[in-house]
Structure 1
Amino acid sequence: MKVFAAVCRCGSITKAAAALHITQPAVSLCIKELEQYYGVQLFDRIAHKLYLTDEGAKLLGYAHKIISLFGEAESDLKSWCALESLRIGSSITIGTRLMPGYVKKFRAAYPNVRVFVTIDNSSQIEKKILANELDFAMIEGTVHSENILCEKLRKDLLVPVCGANSAWANRTELRPEDLTEIPFLLRERGSGTRELFDSTLLTQGITVTPEWESISTGAIISAVEAGIGFSVLPFGLVEQSLQQKRLIQIPIRGIRFERYFYLIRHKDKHLSKAVVSFLLQNQFGVQAEKS
Structure 2
Amino acid sequence: MKYTLRQLEVFLAVAHFDNITRAADSLSMSQSAASGALRDLEDQFDIQLFDRAGKRLKINELGRLLRPRAEALLERAQSLELEMAQHQVVGQLKIGATMTIGNYLAMGLIARYLDEQPKAKLDLQVANTSAIVARLINFDLDIGLVEGEIQHPDLEVVPWRQDQLEVFCAPDHPLAGKQQLSDTDLLSASWILREQGSGTRQAFDWALHGLLSGLNVLLELEHAESIKRAVAEGLGIGCLSSIALRESFELGTLVPLRVAGRDFSRQLYLVINRHKYRSAGIERWIELCHQT
CA separation in 2, counterparts of 1:42 and 1:176?
55
CA contact (8 A) 2:82 2:89 kept: no
Once the 2 structures are TM-superposed, how far is the Cα of residue 67 of structure 1 from its aligned partner? 2.4
Once the 2 structures are TM-superposed, how far is the Cα of residue 200 of structure 1 from its aligned partner? 2.2
Identify the residue that residue 198 of structure 1 maps to in structure 2: 205
User: For 2:49, which of 36, 42, 45 is the aligned residue?
Assistant: 42
Once the 2 structures are TM-superposed, how far is the Cα of residue 79 of structure 1 from its aligned partner? 5.0
Task: Tell me the alpha carbon deviations over residues 261-288 of structure 1, each in whole angstroms, 9 at most, x when there is no partner.
Answer: 2222222334322233334455539xxx
What is the TM-score of this pair, normalised by structure 1?
0.87
Task: Tell me the alpha carbon deviations over residues 89-146 of structure 1, each in whole angstroms, 9 at most, x when there is no partner.
Answer: 2111111111111111221222111222122112222222222222222222112213
Task: Tell me the alpha carbon deviations over residues 151-208 of structure 1, each in whole angstroms, 9 at most, x when there is no partner.
Answer: 3222111000112223332333221243333221111122110111112222x45434
Q: Counterpart of 2:235 in 1: which secondary structure?
A: coil
- Paired residues for 1:125-274 under 5 Å: 125-202=132-209, 204=210, 206-207=212-213, 208=215, 210-274=217-281
Structure 1 residues 195 and 38: CA distance shift in structure 2, 3 A: farther
Matched letter for residue 43 of structure 2: Q
User: For 1:122, which of 90, 110, 129 is the aligned residue?
Assistant: 129
CA separation in 1, counterparts of 2:107 and 2:98?
13
Segment drifting more, 126-135 vs 101-110 = 126-135
CA contact (8 A) 2:16 2:138 kept: no
Q: How many residue pairs get matched?
A: 284
Identify the residue that residue 60 of structure 1 maps to in structure 2: 67
Structure 1 residues 132 and 44: CA distance shift in structure 2, 3 A: closer
CA separation in 2, counterparts of 1:268 and 1:14?
27
- CA RMSD in angstroms, aligned pairs only: 2.4
Matched letter for residue 255 of structure 1: R
CA contact (8 A) 2:89 2:281 kept: no
Identify the residue that residue 13 of structure 2 maps to in structure 1: 6
In structure 1, runs of 5+ residues without a counterpart are: 286-291
CA contact (8 A) 1:153 1:284 kept: no
Structure 1 residues 172 and 124: CA distance shift in structure 2, 3 A: same
Structure 1 residues 152 and 177: CA distance shift in structure 2, 3 A: same
- Paired residues for 1:90-105 under 5 Å: 90-105=97-112
CA contact (8 A) 2:93 2:122 kept: yes
In structure 2, runs of 5+ residues without a counterpart are: 1-7
CA separation in 1, counterparts of 2:285 and 2:66?
32
Q: Counterpart of 1:253 in 2: which secondary structure?
A: coil
Structure 1 ranges of 4+ moved more than 6 A: none
CA separation in 2, counterparts of 1:270 and 1:161?
42
Q: Counterpart of 2:160 in 1: which secondary structure?
A: strand
Structure 1 residues 232 and 83: CA distance shift in structure 2, 3 A: closer
CA separation in 1, counterparts of 2:218 and 2:74?
44
What is the TM-score of this pair, normalised by structure 2?
0.86
CA contact (8 A) 1:156 1:260 kept: yes
CA separation in 2, counterparts of 1:13 and 1:195?
38
Matched letter for residue 69 of structure 1: R
Task: Tell me the alpha carbon deviations over residues 249-269 of structure 1, each in whole angstroms, 9 at most, x when there is no partner.
Answer: 112210121112222222233
